[in-house]
Amino acid sequence: MRVVLVSIVAGLVLSQAALAESKKDWDDCISSDADRSIAGCTKLIDRAKDTKNNLAIAYFNRGVGHQNKREHAEAIADFNQSIKLNASDPAAYRNRGFSYAQTGEYDLAIDDYNQTIKLKPDYPSIYYDRGWTYAGKQDEARALNDYNRAIALDKENPNLFSDRGRTYAELDDLDHALADFEKAIALDPNHALGHANRGWVMAMRNKQEEAIAEYSQALRVEPGNADNLNARGYAFIKTDQFDRAIADFDEALKLKPDFEDALSNRGWAYALKGDSDKALADYDEVIRRSPANVDALNDRGSLFDDKGDIDRSLADYEKVLALQPDNGRALNGRAWAHGQKGEFDQALADAERSVAILKDDPNAIHTRAWIYMNKGQLDLALADFDRAVSIDPELAGAYADRGRAYELKGDRDKAIADYRKSLSLKTRQRYDDKAKAAALQHLTALAAVAPGAAVVAGSADRDATKPNAPIVAEKRIALVIGNGAYANVKALKNADSDASAVAASLQRLGFEVIEKHDLTLADLTRELKAFGDRAPTYDWALVYYAGHGIEVGGINYLIPVDAELATASHVDDEAMPLDRVLAKVEGARKLRLVILDACRENPFAAKMASAGATRSIGRGLARIEPEAGVLVAYSAKDGQVAQDGDGVNSPFAQSLLKYLGEPGLEINMLFRRVHDDVKTATSGQQTPFTYGALPAEALYFKAAGQ
């Protein structure tokens, strides 16, 4: 961005009589104060007693006053009058051209600059002005030519070097760009624009710490520059400093409330920080203001995907593609979403288009590799995985997925190497955490298999899968909840990790997983309602809950993280009855399953008892008799308390994870094995139990041969 200082005096030539008659008005008209200038010039124009030339000067100076107030439409009108009265004044054409450029009328601006040059070829800054306008038209070659001519006339102007550097950068010539920015800073060490532009190049070269330093220097000179705050916030995101990024975006939005880029970037920072609700609020606000903002639609679609809301994710990508049919990012997102739903032919068609458009984008190539893997085309998958990690060697998710492809081909050593590589890398994308969790589980399983033993059963082409959505015939959906960060009692150590591990395991088994953590009562109500609405369209519906639960007066409740439960009478207002959870799975066509690791030692019970409860408060959860076709699994049978455990997962979750992916293990037998494992591990202190009954048909999380 250039900084232009527009002259206010235009060669004033007045008769002695005119000067004597209206000296004060002329003093005001040529004032550097915009409002004073406009008022004084207006009086002169309204009297219309001066010469034609002097009136032209009055219109010109009033136009300059409007320019300085960024009132460009009014400025253009005044310059039109000035030119009508004196068509030979180059300053009027130059200044009108400047206002045209500021309003995006680049061709009209260039016409005026050409006329200025025709009238006065050595007019100060005219080549700079025209070069800036060509740059606005994205005509970088002409812009560069004019900047060169401007610099030849004025080698001490840092703005010229800074703007020429931006043009070099647009031409992907970062070396020349950087040289110009450094020249601008050498001419003026406090040149904020030079520091900001140098920071921009550092960011493009992924030297984010240097970028932050340059933006910080620019902000020391111009503390109220919202653009530089936004740019520094972006660099903070790239260095995982999410709180500092959010602080910069907050400040930018205070300075410029309609700054959509800062609002969208703040949403991205919230999403990476794991605060999906605040991220969604920011994306929603951007889209409310600008429904055709494709970047915000893409970001929100990605967020919906991460939240397990595939249908809303697809809807956002469809909106982008209606606006821009060749938007590679939206095609990549839609490919991933179709893959999540098992629609791999549609997914591959979108992925092919995405790669053709984005070319060497590693994420697009990774998506296509993942789809090939799910279609059983492992050689094509491995070729794409290789290409993705060669472009971006830090792509943790791609290593995890390539490890799975190697595992399916029976190459144990390469699978282990890739799983380990994935785990060694920093998480940079939301998918990385899920992929790394899957890599850890596969690595653990492979470590238990002797070298040389068969890694997978059956043909690789038949059995291809991915960490979070294998090919399955049935539609399966799961709501996985981990409530650990309680506001009013001590946090549960393993609820969060238990839920994450179970979610990852279910994703590998073909479930569409909605994973939620630390839900308030309002959150829990909303998520259960949405899940219950979707369950009838699925064959399997499963709810897994890790957190506190309680039995009061013979009724079982799940406890949200914002509950206080000062007395037993508050439980109906602050907790979720288990019966409402069971009702949400009843619509599924085949399997309706609720798994509760919610019988942990409960600090709320003691608090309510001390308050003089009139309703009985049980130890653990009470026995239930669910409706026919619904199975409920407790981590500890009625009246018992489950252990949170000393490891990463509770004893119940650890055993459940052990058996979920075992091929050919019927569900009833699976829970019997979990029962025996946990009872043994806890020396008989905890005995898992199931209530209800399933149909006569044998049901498997993973069928034999898969």
**9 pLDDT above the threshold of 50:** no
What pLDDT does residue 6 have? 41
74-83: average pLDDT: 96
Q: In which band, very low, low, confident or very high, does the pLDDT at 266 lie, cut at 50, 70 and 90?
A: very high
Strand-pair category, 511-517 with 476-482: parallel
Q: Would you say 397 and 426 are in contact if contact means Cβ atoms under 8 Å apart?
A: no
Q: Looking at the predicted structure, is the pLDDT value of residue 231 above 80? A: yes
Question: Stretch 374-388: mean pLDDT, rounded?
Answer: 93
Going across the sheet that includes 555-558, the strands are 549-552, 555-558, 576-577
Residue 471 clears pLDDT 50, i.e. is over it: no
Is 306:270 a contact under the CB 8 Å cutoff? no
How far is it, in rounded angstroms, from Cα 195 to Cα 216?
9
Residue 552, pLDDT score: 82
- Distances from the Cα of 651 to the Cαs of 439, 593, 679, 688, in angstroms? 21, 20, 9, 10
Question: Of all residues in the chain, what percent carry a pLDDT higher than 90?
Answer: 60
Ramachandran angles phi, psi of 198, nearest 5°: -65, -40
| Segment 492-531, tens digit of pLDDT | 888 888 999 999 999 989 899 999 999 999 999 999 999 9
Distance separating alpha carbons of residues 514 and 527, to the nearest angstrom: 9
The more confident residue out of 694 and 481 is 481
- Are 136 and 101 within 8 A, CB to CB? yes
pLDDT band at 687 (very low <50, low <70, confident <90, very high): confident
On whether the CB atoms of residues 260 and 299 are closer than 8 A, the answer is no
Nearest-angstrom CA–CA distance, 336 and 100? 45
Half-sphere exposure of 276 toward its Cβ, with a 13 Å CA cutoff? Answer: 18
The model's pLDDT over 119-146, given as tens digits with 9 standing for 90+, comes to 998 887 899 999 999 999 999 999 999 9
| Residue 2 pLDDT grade (very low, low, confident, very high; cuts 50, 70, 90) | very low
Given a cut of 70, is residue 15 above it in pLDDT? no
What is the model's pLDDT at position 80? 96
Whole-number mean pLDDT of the chain? 86
Q: pLDDT at position 628, please?
A: 67
For the segment 610-663, what is each residue's pLDDT rounded down to a tens digit? 544 433 455 568 788 787 678 999 988 876 777 766 677 888 999 999 999 888
Residue 284 makes CB contacts below 8 A (sequence gap 6+) with 300
Average pLDDT over residues 43-57: 88
Residues in the chain: 706
The number of helix segments (H) and strand segments (E) in the chain equals 34, 9
Residue type, 258: D
Q: How confident is the model at residue 20 (pLDDT cuts 50, 70, 90)?
A: low
Q: Where are the alpha helices (DSSP H) in 464-494?
A: none
pLDDT band at 568 (very low <50, low <70, confident <90, very high): confident
pLDDT-above-70 percentage for the chain: 89
Q: Is 70 exceeded by the pLDDT of residue 664?
A: yes
Give the confidence band of 444 by pLDDT, cuts at 50, 70, 90.
confident
Torsion angle in degrees (nearest 10) through CA of 72, 73, 79, 83 = 140
> How many angstroms separate the CA atoms of 176 and 171, rounded?
10
Q: How far apart are the C-alpha atoms of 551 and 561, rounded to whole Å?
A: 17
* Residue of higher predicted confidence among 644 and 671: 671
What is the helix (H) or strand (E) element at residue 546, kind and residue range? strand 540-546
Long-range interactions of 164-167: CB distance < 8 A, separation 24+? 164/131, 165/197, 166/135, 166/197, 167/131, 167/135, 167/140, 167/143
Of 416, 329, 422, residue with least CA distance to 367: 329
Give tens-digit pLDDT for 172-181: 899 999 999 9
Is residue 469 scored above 50 in pLDDT?
Answer: no
Q: pLDDT digit string (tens) for 277-288?
A: 999 999 999 999
Backbone angles phi, psi at 241, to 5 degrees: -100, 70
Q: Is the pLDDT of residue 600 over 50?
A: yes
Per residue in 288-325, pLDDT (tens digit) is 999 999 999 999 999 998 877 889 999 999 999 999 99
Side by side, which strands form the sheet with 476-482? 511-517, 476-482, 540-546, 591-597, 630-634, 689-692
Residue 459 confidence (pLDDT):
30
Cβ neighbours of residue 550 closer than 8 Å, sequence gap 6 or more = 556, 557, 559, 565, 571, 575, 602, 604, 605, 617, 618, 621
Q: Is the pLDDT of residue 676 over 70?
A: yes
Position 14 pLDDT exceeds 60: no
Between 395 and 410, residue with greater pLDDT: 395
Segment 567-576 shows an average pLDDT of 85
Instruction: Categorize the per-residue pLDDT at 262 as very low, low, confident or very high, splitting at 50, 70 and 90.
Output: very high
